[in-house]
Amino acid sequence: MMQITDLKTEQKIPPLLRLGFRPFFLSGALFSIFAITLWLLMYKGTISLSPLGGGYWWHIHEMIFGFGGAIIAGFLLTAVQNWTGVRGAQGNTLLALFLLWLAGRTLLAVPDLLGSSLSSLIDLLFLPTVAYVLAKPIIAMKQYRNLFFVPLLALFTIANLEMHLAIHYPTTFNSVYSGYAGVMLVTFLMSVMAGRVAPMFTANGTKTEKAAPLPWLDKAANGSLAIAMFSLLLEPIVGFSATFFGVLLIIASVFQTMRWVRWRPWITLHVPLLWSIHGAMKFICFGLFVLGASYLIPEVPSNHVWHLLTIGGIGGMILAMISRVSLGHTGRPLTPPKSMTLAYILINLAALVRSFGPWAVPEKTLLFIDISGGFWIIAFVIFIAGYGPMLINARKDGRPG
């Protein structure tokens, strides 16, 4: 009876607003294409635009807090239903959250509409609002294990706040460190999420035994990332030590690699939905090591190799996870469109080209950035073409969601 009642109520709601993953996965993917295209045009000087904080600030902020924030919101607002058994945000509540996110993206691109202070405030409201909506059912159902994600969103908000403060108080706050704190926070979230699902997905998808968890290794892998994140977040108070940060990232890489190898990524090579997840973990493992080395060896360019994490690790994990979650939550078999294999390959290539091309041939930096950006755009266009119809239409199996 409950399912029938839910279904009748849900049929009055447009499919796009029935669960958080629908509007935020679709709009996040669309926005990433827009943001990368705009950044490429600004970087080359093809267009003249004055976003909040300038082009470089805007690019860092919007890929982390705009694109990343949308995907994280969509994932958490969907997952909370599985955790609690309570219907996730939908209808007008979900629409309000989406419009708040969209307002932030619009105002940061065109801050003259309301002024820089109000534009910043509206952008900063999104993550705390998501945290509030997320916390209500978790607390009501006493699912306190998953309340962990609420303070995580609070830390994400602090990193966002520091980025905005860097515009007005550049001698106290550094937008690069606060932006990288956001990157480390998202990397930490990806690591936690992968630890929860990758062994199970791998076992189920390959019909093999699930890798036994090692709690100490999970704590070491995630804890080292958390320390790295806090070292960046607290930079205005305690300063920044390149040596400490570099060594810490290498240690984190060792723990991440140990854990990843235990998941046996080599047995997933025939399953795109699996090797795409493991491919993203590969970039987190490898990216942390190279990035750590860049803070110890001046010849290794940090500004380029950060993209091993941002494109290959975060971008790759996002593309892998949203393509899997969207299938499951729209009542479809876990078989992605064949074109997604190309999308997964392209996001890997985008990370390699952007990170190593400018390092190897500095005079061709602009070309490599164009190629990498083009690969990213094509990858997410493929996702939208294949998954857009799924996200805007009702579930195939007729169930709520």
Q: What is the pLDDT of residues 214-241, one digit of tens each?
A: 999 999 999 999 999 999 999 999 999 9
pLDDT of 7: 66
Q: What is the DSSP letter of 113?
A: G
Q: pTM, whole model, 2 decimals?
A: 0.95
Render pLDDT for 180-213 as a digit per residue (tens, 0 to 9). Answer: 999 999 999 999 999 999 999 999 999 999 999 8
Sign of the C-alpha dihedral computed for residues 264, 269, 273 and 278 taken in this order: positive
- Cβ-Cβ contacts under 8 Å for 225 (sequence gap 6 or more): 184, 187, 188, 191, 252
- Cβ-Cβ contacts under 8 Å for 366 (sequence gap 6 or more): 43, 44
Q: What is the DSSP letter of 173?
A: -
pLDDT of 142: 86
Rounded CA-CA distance 356/301 in Å is 9
Q: How far is CA 219 from CA 172, 180, 330, in A?
A: 32, 22, 33
Rounded CA-CA distance 187/184 in Å is 5
pLDDT of 121: 97
Rounded CA-CA distance 162/168 in Å is 10
Strand locations in 328-367, DSSP E? Answer: none
Per-residue pLDDT of the chain (401 residues; tens, 9 = 90+): 334 446 677 788 999 999 999 999 999 999 999 999 999 999 988 998 899 999 999 999 999 999 999 999 999 999 999 888 888 899 999 999 999 999 999 999 999 999 999 999 999 999 999 999 999 999 999 888 889 999 999 999 999 999 999 999 999 999 999 999 999 999 999 999 999 999 999 999 999 999 998 999 999 999 999 999 999 999 999 999 999 999 999 999 999 999 999 999 999 999 999 999 999 999 999 999 999 999 999 999 999 999 999 999 999 999 999 999 999 999 999 999 999 999 999 999 999 999 999 999 999 999 999 999 999 999 999 999 999 999 999 988 878 77
pLDDT of 135: 95
Q: Answer whether 39's CB lies under 8 Å from 55's CB.
A: yes
Rounded CA-CA distance 198/217 in Å is 15
